[in-house]
């Protein structure tokens, strides 16, 4: 099932962004086989592989890429595949004998995805790093946080998942689409520093227009505006307030009874601190849930800020089935959604599978590849 049904992809296992990309592709119906090195895995999930949710929807097989047998198997699979992707530092796959030139020589239409933090070239290409480092150098990290405060780390979403995994998927799908017309594959160089910077395109536009300050917490979209921020309620919870459009801002002031604030001066930054204090005083007088009841259907762009323990029971989240339960483990459902070729979770995350022959047969390996599997792999 899914819009990518029939596409065969090889995932050279890693953690984080590449793993996320594999989940997205597999959820959308691609036949993905995830190849892990012996005893690789993720120590966090060593006790129960079911919790390693980004491994879902595809089988895991153990292949030693430091042996000629393991390398040969991957090269053989490349002949049948539409794409392969990896997340090592530049040069690692070449040293293993699985670089783009060698793999694409086996299959000229093969798309070769490369997922790194710094990219395949540049002064830092060989340097180690993690999400925080990549978004720091791209300008994202410095822009998040309260005015006068330290930068605030936004989970590993902007670099790893957004700028990394999601951009890798976009690149690979684009290259696969082009290969279906040209008959030629290509290398997709997905770098988290590039993807994180790309997500800042609108902010760079604001800055060029003189509508953005480098100081954190001083702009409309970084929490600086009193009409686009969070307010603490009486019960120490929070309400997200976001009426950017003036008509919605007017509605909010009316509901809150703040007649002394002129809605026409919404974007007058000299008044922002005073307005924020007034709104905080009002929101602090009631609990979060009381405010939710008051603000319901008022067109004020206000919502409760939910903890993870609350998200799945919210009526809207429940109605859209945004979360599903697989083997008793709650997890996000596949996204985005398709009207005709619905995505679905093909299988729960699980341990490395030993029956290599069966896994590769189901993946779609050719009879020639299956016939070349050595007896020790037929467990």
Radius of gyration of the chain (CA): 25
- Kindly tell me if the per-residue pLDDT of 359 is higher than 90: yes
Per the rule left: phi > 0, alpha: psi between -120 and 50, beta: everything else, 183 is left
Residue 377 has pLDDT above 80, yes or no: no
Residues 290 and 141 occupy one common structural domain: no
Q: Report how far Cα 3 is from the mean position of its chain's Cα atoms.
A: 19
Whether residue 48 is found in the same domain as residue 139: yes
Residues 35 and 175 in one domain: yes
In-domain check, residue 87: yes
**335 and 259 in a common domain:** no
**C-beta separation of 227 from 241 below 8 A:** yes
Q: Specify whether 18 is located in the same domain as 129.
A: yes
140 and 29 housed in the same domain: yes
Q: Would residue 129 count as lying in a domain?
A: yes
> Is 25 inside a domain boundary?
yes
- Residues of the domain holding 291: 238-304
Question: Do residues 25 and 159 share a domain?
Answer: yes
Structure-token pair, residue 245 = 């459009």
Mean pLDDT of the chain: 95
Sign of CA dihedral 276, 278, 280, 283: negative
pLDDT in tens, 79-127: 999 999 999 999 999 999 999 999 999 999 999 999 999 999 999 999 9
**CATH of residue 142:** 3.40.50.10540
pLDDT bucket at 41, cuts 50 / 70 / 90: low
Query: Could you tell me if residue 109 is inside a domain?
Result: yes
Q: Is residue 46 pLDDT above 90, yes or no? A: no
pTM, rounded to two decimals: 0.94
Q: What is the pLDDT of residue 43?
A: 67
273 and 147 assigned to the same domain:
no
Residues marked active site are found at 130, 160
Backbone φ and ψ for 326, nearest 5 degrees, come out as -120, 120
Give the mean pLDDT of 203-229: 97
Q: 3-state DSSP call for residue 283?
A: helix
Residue scoring higher pLDDT (14 or 354): 14
The answer to the question of residue 208 being in a domain is no
Strand ranges for the chain from DSSP E: 8-12, 31-36, 60-62, 83-86, 111-116, 187-191, 229-232, 238-241, 302-304, 323-326, 329-332
What's the CATH code of the domain at 258?
Answer: 3.30.1540.10
Report the alpha-carbon distance of residue 65 to residue 71 in Å, rounded.
Answer: 5
Instruction: Classify residue 110: in a domain, yes or no.
Output: yes
Residue 311 included in any domain: no
pLDDT of residue 378: 44
What pLDDT, in 10s, does the model give residues 251-300? 999 999 999 999 999 999 999 999 999 999 999 999 999 999 999 999 99
pLDDT tens digits for range 129-142: 999 999 999 999 99
* Dihedral sign computed on CA atoms, order 304, 310, 314, 316: positive
> Strand, coil or helix: what is 153?
coil
Q: Can you tell me the mean pLDDT for 53-60? A: 96
Domain co-membership, 69 together with 167: yes
Do 41 and 173 fall into the same domain?
Answer: yes
Q: Residue 201 above 50 pLDDT? A: yes
Question: How many folded domains does the chain comprise?
Answer: 2
Confidence of residue 39 (pLDDT cuts 50, 70, 90): low
Percentage of residues in the chain with pLDDT exceeding 90?
A: 92
* DSSP letter string, 299-320: -S-EEE---HHHHTTSHHHHHH
Pair (168, 60) in one structural domain: yes
177 pLDDT exceeds 50?
A: yes
- pLDDT confidence of residue 379: 40
Q: Is the distance from CB of 212 to CB of 156 less than 8 angstroms?
A: no
Last residue of a domain, one of 304, 334, 350: 304
In a domain, 242, yes or no: yes
User: 83 by DSSP, 3-state: which?
Assistant: strand
Residues 190 and 274 in one domain: no
């Amino acid at each position: 099932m899914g819009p990518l049904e029939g596409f065969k992809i090889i995932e050279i296992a890693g953690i984080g962004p590449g793993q996320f990309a594999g989940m997205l592709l597999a959820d959308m119906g691609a036949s993905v086989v995830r190849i892990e090195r012996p005893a690789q895995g993720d120590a966090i999930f060593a006790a129960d592989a079911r919790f390693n949710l980004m491994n879902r929807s595809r089988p895991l097989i153990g292949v030693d890429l430091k042996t000629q047998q393991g390398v040969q198997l991957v090269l053989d699979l490349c002949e049948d595949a539409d794409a392969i992707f990896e997340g090592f530092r530049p040069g690692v796959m070449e040293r293993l004998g699985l670089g783009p030139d060698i793999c694409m020589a086996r299959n000229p239409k093969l798309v070769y995805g490369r997922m790194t933090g710094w990219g395949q070239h540049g002064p830092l290409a060989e340097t180690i790093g993690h999400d925080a480092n990549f978004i720091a150098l791209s300008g994202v990290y410095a822009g998040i946080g309260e005015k006068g405060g330290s930068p605030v780390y936004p989970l590993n979403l902007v670099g790893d998942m957004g700028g990394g995994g999601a951009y890798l998927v976009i690149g690979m799908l684009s290259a696969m689409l082009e290969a279906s017309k040209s008959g030629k594959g290509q290398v997709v160089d997905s770098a988290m520093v590039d993807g994180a910077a790309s997500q800042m395109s609108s902010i760079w536009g604001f800055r060029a227009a003189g509508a953005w300050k480098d100081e954190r917490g001083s702009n409309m979209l970084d929490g600086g505006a009193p009409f686009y921020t969070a307010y603490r309620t009486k019960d120490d919870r929070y309400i997200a307030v976001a009426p950017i459009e003036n008509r919605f801002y007017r509605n909010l002031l009316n509901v809150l009874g703040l007649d002394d604030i002129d809605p026409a001066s919404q974007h007058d930054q000299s008044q922002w601190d005073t307005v924020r204090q007034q709104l905080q005083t009002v929101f602090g007088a009631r609990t979060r849930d009381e405010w939710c009841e008051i603000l319901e259907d008022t067109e004020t762009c206000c919502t409760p800020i939910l903890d993870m323990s609350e998200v799945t029971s919210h009526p809207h989240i429940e109605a859209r089935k945004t979360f599903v339960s697989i083997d008793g483990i709650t997890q996000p459902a596949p996204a985005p959604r398709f009207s005709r070729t619905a995505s679905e979770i093909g299988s729960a995350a699980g341990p490395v599978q030993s029956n290599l022959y069966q896994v590769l047969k189901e993946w779609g390996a050719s009879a020639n590849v299956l016939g070349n599997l050595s007896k020790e792999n037929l467990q």
